[in-house]
Amino acid sequence: MMRLGSLGGLALAALLAAGPALAQQKVLRIAMTAADVPTTSGAPNNGFEGVRFLGYPSFEGLVLWDLSRADRPATLRPGLAERYEQDPADPKTWVFHLRRGVKFHDGAEFNADAVIWTLDRFWKNDSPQFDPAGSGIARARIPILASYRKIDDFTVSITTTRVASYFPYMAVYILMISPQSFEQGGRDWAKVAALPPAGTGPFRLSRFTPRVSAELSKNEGYWDQARVPKLDRVLLLPIPEANSRLAALRSGQVDWVEVPPPDAIPSLKQAGFQVVTNSYPHVWPWFYQMGGNTSPFRDIRVRQGLNYCVDRAGLVQLLNGTAEPSVGWLKPSDPNFGNPQNRYAFDPARGRAMLAEAGFTAQRPLRFKVMISASGSGQMLPLPMNEYMQQNLKEACGVEVSFEVTEWNTLLTAVRQAPDAPILNGSTSVNPSSPSSDPAVAARYFLQAFVPPNGFNWGQWNDPQFEEAFAALEVARDEATFNAAYARAHERLVDNPPWLYIVHDLNPRAMSRRVRGFVSAQSWFQDLVTVDLQ
């Protein structure tokens, strides 16, 4: 892990290397929480922070997020497909009508052949462009893709393994790159990433220095001229340690930091920095493993009891109000939260009683290990937060928790493994944060069909009532039916909890007073197009 001094020096060197003209341009410098620069190949790693900064600004999908508003959860909008619909004769098939006149950053034309080429990259193992690393990420996020075909030069169809009303929410993660970039990189994805490759987005990847920085430049020829960026360049820097990000902001090395230390927020505001927060669909939990041979979480009383042992308000206070208590996958204010029987609150007596019913007492305390990361996308401040959880559970309910601390990408790899995989080193719980933005995410995390390696149901959770409600959601053709089924499904996520629900993040970031025009969307992803520097 790099220290601030060396990273700051390298960042300044990168800026100087771009030439004297850079000083006259609007260059936004962002400190990410990632420990490394996410991959630049159009299939970014480092979780959704990678997609936020090294995905959507440069690479686009057939469907895009609408990140234009701060007053409601983000919805979808047409992207490289100007419209799309379910085939009325076959609801497993979606037809995408492609936007005409779009070009990749390298001048190549975007059309149906480019879409099929990209899909082959991720789903056709014997294609020349098959990308094993990118395929693993794509298949985990879109586990229901079955087949696809070109209908004509500007129409493609994609067929799923099951009827899925939410498929457009998965299609947003299939990012298109120019096939010409693959040829230019000698048909070697590592070399393609170093080019960097061409997408269709409002920014183009213009420079990449491994482990140091990535640079985005304005795409003057962007297909939507109303959305040409105001910034000339964006410099992305991995600074995983929160206090180092804070020092970089205070010293003027960066203009924008993700997740500032909560205890520094009052002094940042006093010094004139902007601190931006907003409610957004994201949950910071511990996953329970129910499939392992030695897991205590097979017993629902343990899973429910622990949810009554957490002092969430105390953790929110530790985070200086940059989070809110989580008592389910969705927030209680969400219309699809439903009416579960359990309303989790800090009730140690009830938690201890439920653990005692399951056989865990002061004489025989519940003990388990949680795999956590030191930093990472959406992980907030995982070390102090998990230390708080460890002390809270010990004092409130006599639970003894130990940790397996690892790197973020290692944790992401672990949650795609079997319950007793060696990489877990005895952990029966894991702590990756999760978006809770739409049912497509819920499908990957909670349906029995998506236990690893098919998806993210790491805990091997299986609830027949959830499956039944979700099946109704998948085939719903009207909003009322969809929402009613979603609420029934979510009630099961609360009453038969696959996770220990802890907090919802409020997505804090701190910025220089020079940053203008940022809209804090209620989404994991954010729009850099509207951002300006004064």
Q: Which of 165, 183, 200 is the last residue of a domain?
A: 200
* pLDDT of res. 109: 98
Please tell me whether residues 296 and 232 are part of one structural domain. Answer: no
CA 193 to chain centre: 21
Number of structural domains (the chain) is 3
Flag whether 41 is in a domain. no
Flag whether 405 is in a domain. yes
Please tell me whether residues 376 and 409 are part of one structural domain. Answer: yes
* pLDDT of res. 186: 97
Flag whether 54 is in a domain. no
* Contact (CB, 8 A) for 415 and 287: yes
Flag whether 219 is in a domain. yes
The domain that holds 232 is classified in CATH as 3.40.190.10
Please tell me whether residues 227 and 134 are part of one structural domain. Answer: no
Please tell me whether residues 365 and 414 are part of one structural domain. Answer: yes
Q: Which of 135, 168, 200 is the last residue of a domain?
A: 200
Which amino acid type is present at position 244?
A: S
Flag whether 45 is in a domain. no
Please tell me whether residues 141 and 154 are part of one structural domain. Answer: yes
Please tell me whether residues 421 and 295 are part of one structural domain. Answer: yes
Residue 62 C-beta-side C-alpha neighbours within 13 Å:
27
* pLDDT of res. 380: 87
* pLDDT of res. 23: 58
Please tell me whether residues 262 and 118 are part of one structural domain. Answer: no
The domain that holds 356 is classified in CATH as 3.10.105.10
Please tell me whether residues 374 and 486 are part of one structural domain. Answer: yes
Tens of pLDDT, residues 346-360: 999 999 999 999 999
Flag whether 131 is in a domain. yes
262's CB contacts (< 8 A; 6+ apart) are 318, 319, 320, 321, 322, 381, 508
Please tell me whether residues 315 and 272 are part of one structural domain. Answer: no
Domain span including residue 261: 1-33+202-278+507-534
* pLDDT of res. 35: 86
Give the residue ranges of DSSP H helices in 109-251: 112-123, 132-141, 168-171, 179-184, 189-194, 242-250
* Residue spans of the chain under pLDDT 70: 1-23
pTM for the whole structure: 0.87
List the beta bridge partners of residue 401: 368
Instruction: Give the helix, strand, coil percentages of the chain, each rounded to 5.
Output: 35, 20, 45
Flag whether 473 is in a domain. yes
The domain that holds 66 is classified in CATH as 3.90.76.10
Please tell me whether residues 74 and 210 are part of one structural domain. Answer: no
* Contact (CB, 8 A) for 44 and 197: no
Q: 463: closest CA among 494, 428, 485, 440?
A: 494
449's CB contacts (< 8 A; 6+ apart) are 143, 162, 455
Q: Which of 148, 169, 200 is the last residue of a domain?
A: 200
Flag whether 439 is in a domain. yes
